[in-house]
């Protein structure tokens, strides 16, 4: 054994040995032995469009659980996979094209799809190699991709079942649309930002007396072309008598009524608001209540349309500037508040303001799904760890809105829906869903079909991941429900809650028994990592410098369940030093083992030291199993760190060192036995260094994972 542990010398070869010897794979013979306990985790599939970041390294918690259950002798499955990540990947690819001076608009959809596919396959392979470098005990022979044909078939089946039960419907609603990215989003994907903007006070003249005005307050003067009413609160005495009168919309000279609605806040602006149902969510609801028409005044490219006369073709912000100027010229601007604080919806990728636009989309009717999901969580058929997140899960399940699952993307799973042209001519607009491309219309039986061009929201397909993967692999009856879903708390509503909803809908069972949530990885000051801040740390660079075990340990050490990780290179160095300490203890025992050892005569001092060591170890060992079974992994790791370094090495080894060097085999064997058990317990956290040292004592062919049920037993 060298003087210091050199991870780069061992890690790649060790991982190759694990994979070659199929230590992470299911044994088909053992699989059917019902006496074996089943333990399964489905890896949250990383996006197949880029390298892994530190957040992905948090999969270490899953690896800890998997290796622990392997050592216990359970029948274990950790299923790897990758997500096509529709919008995310298309966005990344468009940036890739931009660097080449190209755009997505330069290619037809079929060519663009093929180009993205090649880009993804290359990145997916690199991402999988990075998972290997982290030492993850994944069953690689079972890996799945969200665009695998058999997975897509399950996604289609789920969609059709939802459609047949009336839980999926198509409707024209106001949706969040990014004119830059060219797609809609669900309400959960909107990022709201507080901004200081302008509030415009515009005069709308009365139809009956054009020299008199009703002053309307708005942040969006460019949408006035789509105004179909003006509203006041019916309890507002200032305007009660004006309800049902008519005012004239500037430029278009359209007459609209003043309506009363409790939704209007009398304290906002003048207490009078313009109603533009095609471009504001609140106005859309008021419009439905009062049976008002929709007039969309700009298109999905963000430019004003034919309803805006001379302003047609202008971008939204240019139009706003010109509209305001022309209103001033007509003396129709009463004042402008330059310091109005406003909450604005933005695109989480490009940062542009999202536009509320009316569009026909597919929606999931969530209330019937959330009702069952809530019951499973409340009754703890699905246990949430840490427990404080249970209330958050239930809050989301209570407050979900119907889910827009249509995306205007090339990259993704196409929605298997078709429109009957005959019904369209008859104004009934009938759609049907078919798992296979239909030979004829299932509505009228004769017309030429119109196929939906949209793709599914990626969260819709990934919400089916646990049952879809296991069904396609023929492992559903063994490993479903899965044992644990481990992921970050930040995607509770987007993914976890939706997996619960769709999993119960499709299988009548919970998709997992436990949800274990980890926190976000931040820098040592608690700041979120971002390229713009210059505080991003590449996990592969940390592995190159200090080894995978050091990185893994730094992500777990002194981090409570669900707590954010304050990460620094210094912390990785601390864990590198711990790996060296493990190595050096093993080296001392190993070198003295091959020396001239002899049985010493009875020594009362040595005996008492060994009794104390054994007693302390047993107490810590019992705590370790309680911590591991209670999902208190950081405490289990901290316990071993403290015992191995500060008790076994600093106290007991120092007391026994001279005796061992002088040839006391009893002391050496006692120390060796406890040290090897510590290696077993440490293995889920630091798999490489523990494997290397284990093989020095047991031979190259004896993996630490083969020791299950021999030494690693709970007492």
CATH code at 686? 1.10.730.10
Count CB-CB contacts under 10 A for residue 242.
Answer: 17
Q: Give the SS3 label for residue 59.
A: coil
Contact between residue 160 and residue 362 where contact means Cβ atoms under 8 Å apart:
no
Give the distance, in angstroms, between the CA of residue 103 and the centroid of all CA atoms in the same chain.
Answer: 28
Q: Judge contact between 636 and 627, C-beta under 8 A.
A: yes
pLDDT for 709 equals 46
Q: Are 323 and 431 members of one domain?
A: no
**Residue 274 exposure: Cα atoms within 13 Å on the Cβ side:** 31
Distance CA 85, CA 90 (A): 8
**Residue 335 Rama label (left phi>0; alpha psi -120 to 50; beta):** beta
The angle formed by the CA atoms of residues 47, 52 and 53, to the nearest 5 degrees, is: 115
Tell me whether residue 193 is in a domain.
yes
Neighbours of 263 (CB within 10 A): 12
Please tell me whether residues 339 and 431 are part of one structural domain.
no
222 located within any domain: yes
Residue 387 DSSP label: T
- Phi, psi values for residue 184, rounded to 5°: -90, 165
Q: Are 558 and 679 within one domain?
A: yes
pLDDT digits (tens, 9 = 90+) for 614-625: 999 999 999 999
Residue 311 lies in a domain: yes
Query: How does strand 512-518 pair with strand 333-347?
Result: unpaired
In whole angstroms, give the CA distance from residue 51 to residue 231.
Answer: 52
403-404/75-79 β-pairing? unpaired
CATH of the domain at 307: 3.90.740.10
pLDDT tens, residue by residue, 538-570: 999 999 999 999 999 999 999 988 899 999 999
CA–CA distance, 644 with 650 (Å, rounded to integer): 8
* 358, 595, 606 from 655: Cα distances, Å: 78, 19, 9
Are 214 and 338 in a shared domain? yes
| Residues 6 or more apart in contact with residue 435 via CB below 8 angstroms | 153, 156, 157, 160, 416
Which range marks the domain in which residue 430 is found? 417-451
Residues 6+ apart with CB under 8 A from 143: 79, 80, 81, 82, 128
What burial class does residue 531 get, using C-beta atoms within 10 Å of its C-beta: 0-12 exposed, 13-18 middle, 19+ buried?
Answer: exposed
Shared domain for 692 and 557, answered yes or no, is yes
Task: Strands of 261-326 (E only): list them.
Answer: 272-275
Q: Contact 194/221 with Cβ under 8 angstroms?
A: no
Tokens of 481: 């429900």
Final residue of a structural domain among 347, 382, 398: 347
Residues 203 and 324 grouped into a single domain: yes
Q: Do 339 and 433 sit in the same domain of this protein?
A: no
Which of 404, 431, 451 corresponds to the end of one domain?
A: 451
C-alpha span between 503 and 505 (Å, rounded): 5
Q: How many domains does the chain have?
A: 3
Residues 327 and 427 occupy one common structural domain? no
Q: Which of 395, 425, 451 lies at the terminal end of a domain, its last residue?
A: 451
**CA gap 274, 232 in Å, rounded:** 9
124 part of a folded domain:
no
Do 319 and 425 fall within a single domain?
Answer: no
Cα–Cα distance, 300 to 359 (Å, whole number)? 10
How far apart CA 241 and CA 244 sit, in angstroms, is 8
Query: CB neighbours of 147 closer than 8 A, spacing ≥ 6?
Result: 84, 413
CA–CA gap between residue 246 and residue 259 (Å, rounded)? 9
Q: Distance between CA 563 and CA 544 in Å, rounded?
A: 27
Range list of β-strands (E), 348-481: 355-364, 383-385, 403-404, 406-407, 417-419, 431-433, 450-451, 455-456
User: How long, in residues, is the chain?
Assistant: 715
Sites in the chain below the pLDDT cut of 50: 602, 709
With respect to residue 695, please indicate whether it lies within any of the assigned structural domains.
yes
Query: Is the same domain home to 315 and 437?
Result: no
The verdict on residue 308 lying in a domain is yes
Q: Using CA atoms of 273, 279, 281, 286 in order, give the dihedral in degrees to the nearest 10.
A: 50
Instruction: Please give the C-alpha separations between residue 367 and each of 270, 395, 396, in angstroms, as whole numbers.
Output: 37, 13, 11
Q: Is residue 51 part of a domain?
A: no
pTM value?
A: 0.93
Residue 607 lies in a domain: yes
pLDDT tens-digit series, residues 484-523: 999 999 999 999 999 999 999 999 999 999 999 999 999 8
> What pLDDT shows up at residue 712?
59
User: What does the alpha-carbon distance between residue 369 and residue 280 come to, in Å, rounded to a whole number?
Assistant: 28
339 and 425: one domain?
no
Tokens (6 digits) for 578:
């711990």
660: which 2 tokens? 């061992």
Pair (702, 558) in one structural domain: yes
Cα separation of 80 and 148, whole Å?
A: 13
Phi, psi angle pair for 407, to nearest 5°: -135, 140
């Amino acid at each position: 054994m060298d003087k210091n542990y050199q991870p780069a010398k061992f890690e790649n070869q060790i991982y190759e040995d694990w994979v070659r010897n199929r230590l992470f794979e299911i044994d088909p013979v053992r699989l059917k032995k019902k006496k074996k306990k089943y333990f399964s985790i489905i890896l949250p599939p990383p996006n197949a469009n880029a390298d892994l970041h530190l957040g992905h390294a948090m999969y270490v918690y899953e690896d800890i659980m998997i290796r622990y259950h392997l050592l216990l002798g359970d029948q274990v499955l950790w299923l790897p996979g990758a997500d096509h990540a529709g919008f995310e990947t298309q966005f990344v690819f468009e940036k890739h094209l931009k660097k080449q001076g190209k755009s997505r608009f330069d290619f037809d959809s079929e060519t663009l799809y093929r180009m993205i596919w090649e880009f993804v396959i290359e990145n997916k392979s690199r991402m999988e190699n990075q998972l290997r470098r982290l030492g993850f005990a994944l069953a690689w022979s079972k890996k799945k991709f969200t665009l695998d044909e058999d997975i897509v078939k399950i996604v289609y089946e789920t969609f059709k079942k939802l459609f047949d039960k009336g839980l999926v419907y198509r409707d024209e609603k106001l949706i969040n649309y990014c004119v830059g990215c060219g797609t809609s989003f669900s309400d959960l994907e909107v990022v709201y930002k507080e901004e200081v903007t302008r509030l415009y006070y515009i005069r709308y003249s009365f139809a009956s007396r054009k020299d008199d005005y009703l002053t309307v307050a708005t942040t969006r003067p460019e949408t006035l072309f789509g105004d179909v009413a003006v509203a006041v609160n019916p309890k507002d005495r200032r305007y009660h008598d004006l309800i049902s009168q008519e005012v004239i919309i500037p430029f278009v000279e359209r007459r609209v009524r003043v309506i009363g609605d409790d939704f209007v806040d009398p304290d906002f602006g003048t207490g009078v608001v313009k109603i533009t149902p095609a471009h504001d969510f609140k106005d859309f609801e008021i419009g439905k209540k009062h049976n008002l028409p929709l007039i969309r005044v700009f298109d999905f490219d963000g430019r004003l349309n034919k309803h805006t006369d001379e302003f047609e073709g202008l971008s939204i912000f240019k139009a706003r500037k010109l509209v305001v100027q022309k209103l001033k010229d007509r003396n129709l601007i009463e004042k402008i508040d330059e310091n109005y604080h406003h909450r604005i919806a933005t695109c989480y990728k490009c940062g542009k303001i999202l536009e509320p636009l009316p569009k026909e989309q597919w929606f999931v009717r969530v209330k019937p799904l959330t009702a069952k999901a809530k019951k499973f969580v409340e009754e703890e058929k699905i246990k949430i760890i840490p427990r404080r997140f249970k209330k958050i899960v239930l809050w989301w399940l209570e407050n979900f809105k119907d889910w827009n699952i249509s995306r205007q993307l090339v990259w993704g799973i196409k929605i298997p829906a078709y429109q009957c042209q005959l019904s369209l001519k008859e104004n009934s607009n009938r759609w049907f869903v078919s798992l296979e491309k239909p030979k004829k219309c299932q509505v009228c039986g004769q017309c030429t079909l119109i196929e939906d061009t949209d793709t599914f929201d990626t969260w819709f397909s990934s919400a089916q991941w646990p049952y879809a993967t296991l069904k396609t692999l023929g492992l559903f009856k063994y490993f479903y429900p899965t044992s644990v879903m481990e992921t970050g708390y930040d995607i509770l509503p987007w993914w976890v809650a939706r997996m619960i909803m769709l999993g119960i809908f499709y299988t009548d069972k919970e998709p997992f028994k436990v949800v274990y949530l980890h926190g976000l990885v931040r820098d040592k000051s608690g700041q979120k990592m971002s390229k713009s801040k210059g505080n991003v740390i590449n996990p592969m660079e940390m592995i190159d410098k200090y080894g995978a075990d050091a990185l893994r340990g730094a992500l777990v050490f002194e981090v409570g369940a669900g707590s954010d990780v304050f990460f620094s290179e210094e912390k990785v160095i601390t864990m590198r030093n711990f790996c060296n300490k493990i190595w050096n203890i093993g080296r001392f025992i190993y070198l003295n083992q091959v020396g001239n050892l002899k049985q010493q005569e009875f020594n009362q001092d040595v005996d008492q030291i060994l009794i104390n060591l054994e007693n302390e170890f047993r107490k810590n060992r019992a705590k370790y199993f309680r911590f591991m079974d209670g999902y208190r992994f950081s405490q289990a790791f901290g316990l071993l760190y403290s015992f191995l370094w500060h008790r076994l090495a600093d106290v007991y080894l120092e007391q026994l060192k001279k005796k061992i060097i002088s040839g006391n085999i009893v002391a050496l064997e006692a120390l060796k036995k406890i040290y090897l058990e510590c290696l077993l317990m440490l293995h889920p956290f630091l798999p490489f260094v523990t494997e290397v040292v284990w093989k020095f004592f047991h031979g190259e062919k004896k993996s630490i994972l083969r020791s299950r049920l021999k030494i690693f037993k709970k007492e």
